[in-house]
Amino acid sequence: MTKKDDNLIMLPTVDLCFKELMNNPKVRIGFIAALLDIPPEQIKETTLQPTELRREYGEQKLGILDVNVLLQDGTQIDMEIQVAPFRYWDARALFYLCGLFTGQLGKGEPYSKLKRCIHVSILDFIHFPEDAECCHRISLCDKTTGQRYTDLMELRILELKKLPVRTEGEKLLISWMRFFAAKTRKEMRMVAQTDEYIDEAFEELEKLSADKQKWMEYEARQKAIRDYNTQVQSYWEEGQRHLKLELIRKKLARGKSLEQIAEDLETDVESIRALAEEISGGTSSV
């Protein structure tokens, strides 16, 4: 970065930046302690597990950067950040949690070797619109009694867009979420003043942002994410358009007027007329 850009700072919501932050042992311990709601001193050791740039399907160009941490007691925590809304996030998070859990055992090994596995989703969008809670802790339980079945598998979902108004003495996990959600150096510094581990994360972020090579990698990752999200949105919009054309085609075939179709689809007649002309002109690939 040049002096002109010295106010720029990496955003933790970019998965590459988040992964770099978690490379710092003190940052890692601080965040995990807040997540588990225990004093940092109780976490004697954390080990970063090797992870690959995994892809949702074979030809996907944009991989997913996650952080996998092994605690001293054998607990595994897999963490990842997602910025754009993801329709099947529930199934996806559960799929990777199950993979984490079953991946602990080799052929013939006893079930007694299985340790606790936690998948953490840090989401920069609203995933549960029906409630105002920003932190969700999800595990297997008996629907009749409400009793937890096991603590061996757990999902944590943190929604950054639902952070509450700042209050005195709020939980450290909320402070960490504020740090991850911050968009400016000033916001980050303010949160960093509340906790030594978050302050360590802020200092690490300053170093990363001042590193020319790291900044280039960060910008490249941002661009890849933007391009991917734009492509997905484009595919979705094209799919919606084709569905609408097919619907109009069927309604016209049943003898409905343009006015009736516009009323059915809650849109204006001119838009329907343009699409109908496209259908009659044979320009649609539907």
Phi, psi of 167 (to 5 degrees): -135, 160
Asked if residue 246 belongs to a domain, the reply is: no
Q: Is the pLDDT of residue 72 over 60?
A: yes
Asked if residue 232 belongs to a domain, the reply is: no
**What's the pLDDT tens digit per position in 243-278?**
888 888 888 888 888 888 888 888 888 888 888 888
For residue 195, give its domain range.
Answer: 3-210
Asked if residue 230 belongs to a domain, the reply is: no
Looking at this protein, which amino acid is placed at residue 164?
P
User: Which residue is it, tokens 């597990």?
Assistant: 49
- The total number of structural domains in the chain stands at 1
Per-residue pLDDT band at 63 (split at 50, 70, 90): low
**Confidence at residue 233, expressed as pLDDT on a 0 to 100 scale:** 65
CA distance 99 to 253: 49
3-state secondary structure of 12: coil
Asked if residue 257 belongs to a domain, the reply is: no
Asked if residue 71 belongs to a domain, the reply is: yes
**Confidence at residue 90, expressed as pLDDT on a 0 to 100 scale:** 92
Asked if residue 120 belongs to a domain, the reply is: yes
Asked if residue 248 belongs to a domain, the reply is: no
**What's the pLDDT tens digit per position in 98-133?**
999 999 999 899 999 999 999 999 999 999 999 999
Asked if residue 122 belongs to a domain, the reply is: yes
